């Protein structure tokens, strides 16, 4: 595997379900990100992890819970979601910010539909 | 706070012609990076090109070049010799050094006509 991978690619879940999105990066990066992209809305940053510590939580509802067990893996745990949470969820990685401004490499995304 | 403005929601270009996608930014920081990403209909965001705030030369990557005008706070993307595969959404982004997050514009949808 190369680059940034995300699983599953598509997910349909009911409002009472619990599911998790997984992201893995094979680039040797140490910063990882979750973004939400809704139709006809700007890209929204959700969480940033740098060196496995959460450094940014962009006022995301608690029904989204991130986890970064190591620098290569990032999870987004979902529970009791709402229909408006249906979107494309993108994971990205980069060199750790702090000494420069580095480009991000994105995964293919998980298209989530909440019914 | 940083802000990115992309004023062109949609652009059309004829195949093999050049096209410029506009991006202006706003920041009070001196050290930052500017980026362009491409998002085809498949959804994956692809990094295209980077310009550092202290770089004196405009960045180029193959058919992509970044027209950086620091005084005007603009970072326009120029795509030369457009191809049908260039049809996609294009996002301008910036990141301040030592900040945790990047700021993205709303995007420009480019359609290349045969």
pLDDT in tens, A54-107: 887 778 999 999 999 999 999 999 999 999 999 999 999 998 766 678 899 999
Residues B36/B48, Cβ–Cβ less than 8 Å? yes
What's the rounded Cα separation, in Å, for the pair A42 and A40?
7
Beta pairing partners, A4: A25
Give the range among B17-26, B54-63, B66-75, B93-102 with minimum mean pLDDT.
B93-102
**Residue A100 distance to chain B (closest CA, Å):** 5
Q: Which residues of B touch A (CB under 8 A)?
A: 31-33, 35, 37, 42-47, 50, 52, 91, 94-102, 104-107
Q: Average pLDDT in the A23-43 region?
A: 92
Residues A5/A106, Cβ–Cβ less than 8 Å? no
pLDDT at B87 over 90: yes
Q: What is residue A96's DSSP assignment?
A: P
- DSSP character string of B27-61: -S-SSEEEEEEEE-TT---EEEEEEETT--SPPEE
Residues A18/A78, Cβ–Cβ less than 8 Å? yes
Q: Average pLDDT in the A25-32 region?
A: 94
**Residue B21 pLDDT:** 98
State what percent of residues in chain A have pLDDT above 70: 97
Residues B8/B109, Cβ–Cβ less than 8 Å? no
Task: Confirm or reject contact between A97 and chain B (CB < 8 A).
Answer: yes
Residue of B96, B107, B97, B98 lying closest to B1 (CA atoms): B96
Q: Average pLDDT in the A23-31 region?
A: 94
Q: Average pLDDT in the B62-80 region?
A: 97
**Residue A1 pLDDT:** 64
CB–CB contacts below 8 A, A to B: 64
Q: Average pLDDT in the B14-38 region?
A: 96
Q: Average pLDDT in the B70-79 region?
A: 97
Indicate the pLDDT class of residue B40, thresholds 50, 70 and 90. Answer: very high
3-state secondary structure of A40: coil
What's the rounded Cα separation, in Å, for the pair B1 and A39?
25
Q: Which residues contact B2 (CB under 8 A, 6 or more apart)?
A: B25, B26, B27, B29, B32, B94, B96, B103
State what percent of residues in chain A have pLDDT above 90: 74
Q: Average pLDDT in the A1-10 region?
A: 91
**Residue B92 pLDDT:** 97
Task: Confirm or reject contact between A55 and chain B (CB < 8 A).
Answer: yes
What's the rounded Cα separation, in Å, for the pair A43 and A36?
6
Residue A8 preceded by cis peptide, ω within 30: yes
pLDDT at B42 over 80: yes
Task: Confirm or reject contact between A66 and chain B (CB < 8 A).
Answer: no
Residue of A44, A55, A90, A66 lying closest to B100 (CA atoms): A55
Q: What is residue A93's DSSP assignment?
A: E
Q: What is the mean pLDDT of chain A?
A: 91
Q: Average pLDDT in the A10-20 region?
A: 93
State what percent of residues in chain B have pLDDT above 90: 89
pLDDT at B101 over 90: no
Residue A61, token pair as written in the block: 């509802």
């Amino acid at each position: 595997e190369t680059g940034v991978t995300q699983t599953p690619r598509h997910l349909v879940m009911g409002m009472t379900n619990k599911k998790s999105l997984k992201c893995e990066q094979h680039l040797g990066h140490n910063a990882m990100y979750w973004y939400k992209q809704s139709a006809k809305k700007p890209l929204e940053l959700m969480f940033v992890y740098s060196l496995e510590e959460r450094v940014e939580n962009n006022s995301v509802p608690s029904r989204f819970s991130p986890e970064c067990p190591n620098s290569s893996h990032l999870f987004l745990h979902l529970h009791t979601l709402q229909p408006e949470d249906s979107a494309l969820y993108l994971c990205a990685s980069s060199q750790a910010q702090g000494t420069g401004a580095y480009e991000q490499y994105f995964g293919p995304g998980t298209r989530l539909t909440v019914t | 706070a940083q802000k990115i403005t992309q004023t062109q929601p949609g652009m059309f270009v004829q195949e093999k012609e050049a096209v410029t996608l506009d991006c202006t930014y706003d920041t009070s920081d001196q050290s930052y990076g500017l980026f362009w990403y491409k998002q085809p209909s498949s959804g994956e965001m692809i990094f295209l090109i980077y310009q550092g705030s202290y770089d004196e030369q405009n960045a180029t990557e193959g058919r992509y070049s970044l027209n950086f005008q620091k005084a005007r706070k603009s970072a326009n993307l120029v795509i030369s010799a457009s191809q049908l595969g260039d049809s996609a959404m294009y996002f301008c982004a910036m990141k301040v050094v030592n900040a945790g997050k990047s700021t993205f514009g709303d995007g420009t949808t480019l359609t290349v006509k045969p």
